[in-house]
Amino acid sequence: MSVDVTDDPVQFDDVTGSESDTFPKPRAHGAAVMNHLADVNDAAAQGSDRGTLYDRSLAYWCERVGDRDLEPHVAVEDFEADWLPVGDYALVLTSSRWKAGTGRGNDYRAYYEQHLKLREWGPEDDDGERELRKPALALHVEIMPQFRDMVYKSGDPLECPYGEGTRLLAWTTWAEDPFEIERRMYDALRAVYGADAIGLEDRVDDARRVPKAEAHIRFAIGKKNAAIETLEQSKQLIDWGGESEIDAHQRRQQEGWLEALVESDRWHLLGFDPQRYSTEVKIYQANQWHKKPKTDPFHHPKLEASYSGVDRGELPHVSDWDDILEHLRTVVATHARWAGIERSDLVADDFFDGPESAPWDFERPTGRRDMLRKRYEDLATDIYREALKESTTAVYDILRVIAEHDGANYDTLVERTGLARSTVRYHVRRLAQEGVVSREGNPVMVFFVSRVVLERAREILREVRPEDTPEDLDERADDRRERREEQQEDEDGQTDMDDEESGESTTDGSEIGFEYLERLSASIHDLASLRDRERIDDRDVRVRVDELPPPLQ
């Protein structure tokens, strides 16, 4: 997603400042560069072969492979390049159906893009065979056609923003600049299609774009929880600070957090320089990390910031690379500082020097502590409001159980409060939307969003009901269960159509059945969405005019 920061209600100077800092330089990780070759040969035969690199790659596939069932095809068994680590490497070729082709309707014929991929030869097995595997240093080159007579399957013409020819896209890891990415791409193309496969005079400079870039550090697992909480705080502050769309997800597996990720186009609300693209920050670990010893770098997590394209407008040019990496490294180093990660906490691996990494100067946003304080004051107000509701003690009891248990699942909340499961889910969802609690894992555990909020919630709950005891909580839970059971018995025994409606739903057989939103795990916003899509109308919604029935109190 992209953003015009001039339209944002919260600006840099409103929330934070910055100060100079030094941190070990985060390592560039995965990245991609796009090229376009204006390599149509006007003198070549028109039609099936226009003299482009794409045509050459397609002819190669037809001559050497000819059947997709024979893929991957080993195009170069012994590939050598000065940028490769020690090892034995190969280049393999695959193909895939592309988004455009020729013809229309039943005569439509899709083109196929070509893929060159770097692979490493493994050790010989008992039969003397060697398998190909993905290496730590990756390279994937895509070769695509760009001809104006091509159409999408819908019949719409293919857009060729840089003219006709060949489009190239290279994905790789551990490259420090875009020129290194291009060099690796050209080396692979020449190794497969010949030394004259690439003519730099055909390269369109304006088409040299960057669709992907990453920077990261690897740090000691003992700092993982602090890093996770720091990232969660950033998510809360961005969401709280102003009009933003945030994509966030977390998973809790094995010994704790396995992954946390936040993507937003509003990082400038925390003091980072505004960007016209979205930035993703995540904490992740290798598969089966918990089975590896602490001496293995892959036991320890990474903190990574990445950029992945724009929603509108052009991708950054290769000349913007330094600015992109400066931003990503600043985001990584700043979050590391906020999480208390020091040089000694960094972990070296084959591509990252860890504590031996070169020092790197950057501008670190400040004011975070004050922003968090203000945020927690807002959350405290929300907790007060929920706990003091006169119409029901349900939310107070839910908050109390979460506070007492330092997190609780739905089964515990239902058992301790006596509330119906649908009622518990409804209130938890509301509290999560307000930023008071978070829902994590499967089965779902409900937590206060930070230790600070947890301690503040405990204080507030004691303050609003100082005389409340565990026995009082148990008594309210028993009363709710008894009322619900009595209500169910009344409904089951109802035979008189003239009896008044009781409980939380209409059971009168002469009327249309209605149900409370809480029972349906729905919200007012869900109803609005359904009405906008004309799935329901005014006849499908009721408004309560009487006092809430006891089961909902």
Q: How far is CA 18 from CA 227, 271, 368, 476, in A?
A: 21, 7, 10, 51
User: How many structural domains comprise the chain?
Assistant: 3
Query: What CA–CA distance (Å, rounded) separates 498 from 496?
Result: 5
In the chain, pLDDT over 70 holds for what percent of residues?
78
Residue pair 169/32 in contact (Cβ under 8 Å)? The answer is yes
Q: How far is CA 88 from CA 45, 91, 315, 419, 535, in A?
A: 40, 11, 35, 64, 61
Task: Assign residue 390 the CATH number of its domain.
Answer: 1.10.10
For 17-31, 423-437, 521-535, which range has the lowest pLDDT when averaged over its residues?
Answer: 521-535
Residue 364's pLDDT band, with cuts at 50, 70 and 90, is: confident
b/e burial code for range 160-182 (CB count within 10 A of at least 16 → b): bebebbbbbbbbbbbbeebebbb
pLDDT higher than 50, residue 268: yes
Same structural domain, 375 and 355 = no
Q: How far is CA 520 from CA 1, 119, 313, 422, 526, in A?
A: 33, 52, 42, 7, 11
Highest mean pLDDT among 210-224, 423-437, 495-509: 210-224
The three-class DSSP label of residue 373 is: helix
More confident residue, 184 or 436: 184
SS3 track for 131-148? EEECCCCCEEEEEEEECC
Of 345, 366, 387, the domain-final residue: 366
Average pLDDT over residues 400-428: 90
Burial class (CB in 10 A: 0-12, 13-18, 19+), 370: exposed
Same structural domain, 164 and 238 = no
Residue 1's pLDDT band, with cuts at 50, 70 and 90, is: very low
Query: What CA–CA distance (Å, rounded) separates 500 from 510?
Result: 12
Angle, CA of 85, 87 and 93, to the nearest 5°:
95
Position 152 in a domain: yes
Domain extent at residue 318: 5-27+216-366
Place of tokens 């739905």: 410
Give the pLDDT of residue 228: 86
Highest mean pLDDT among 325-334, 389-398, 425-434, 512-521: 325-334
pLDDT higher than 50, residue 2: no
Same structural domain, 523 and 390 = yes
Of 169, 203, 237, the domain-final residue: 203
Average pLDDT over residues 384-404: 82
Of 177, 203, 229, the domain-final residue: 203
User: Which tokens in the block code for residue 337?
Assistant: 């500082």
Position 307 in a domain: yes
What are the pLDDT digits (tens) for 123-157?
A: 988 888 899 999 999 999 999 999 999 999 888 99
Position 384 in a domain: yes
Same structural domain, 523 and 384 = yes
Same structural domain, 398 and 535 = yes
Hey, which residues does 95 pair with through a beta bridge? Answer: 114
Query: What CA–CA distance (Å, rounded) separates 526 from 87?
Result: 57
Query: What CA–CA distance (Å, rounded) separates 316 from 323?
Result: 10
Q: Which long-range contacts (CB under 8 A, 24 or more apart) does 97-106 make?
A: 98/144, 98/145, 99/152, 100/145, 100/150, 100/151, 100/152, 100/158, 101/150, 101/151, 101/153, 102/149, 102/150, 102/151, 103/151, 104/151, 104/155, 105/155
Position 541 in a domain: yes
Same structural domain, 340 and 478 = no
Same structural domain, 332 and 447 = no
pTM summary value: 0.67
pLDDT higher than 50, residue 266: yes
Enter the DSSP assignment of 3.
-
Position 526 in a domain: yes
Position 170 in a domain: yes
Task: Give the count of beta carbons closer than 10 Å to the beta carbon of residue 246.
Answer: 14
Distant-in-sequence, close-in-space partners of 444: CB < 8 Å, separation ≥ 6: 409, 410
Query: Which DSSP helix (H) or strand (E) runs through 261?
Result: strand 256-264
The three-class DSSP label of residue 453 is: helix
Distant-in-sequence, close-in-space partners of 46: CB < 8 Å, separation ≥ 6: none
Same structural domain, 110 and 122 = yes
Query: What CA–CA distance (Å, rounded) separates 32 from 551?
Result: 58
| Number of helices and strands in the chain (H, E) | 12, 18
What are the pLDDT digits (tens) for 447-498?
A: 887 677 788 888 888 888 888 888 889 999 999 998 888 877 766 665 444 4
For 19-23, 44-48, 69-73, 253-257, which range has the lowest pLDDT when averaged over its residues?
Answer: 253-257
Residue 56's pLDDT band, with cuts at 50, 70 and 90, is: very high
Position 64 in a domain: yes
Residue 14's pLDDT band, with cuts at 50, 70 and 90, is: very low
b/e burial code for range 19-31 (CB count within 10 A of at least 16 → b): eebebbbbbbbbb
Same structural domain, 232 and 178 = no
pLDDT higher than 90, residue 239: no
Same structural domain, 354 and 251 = yes
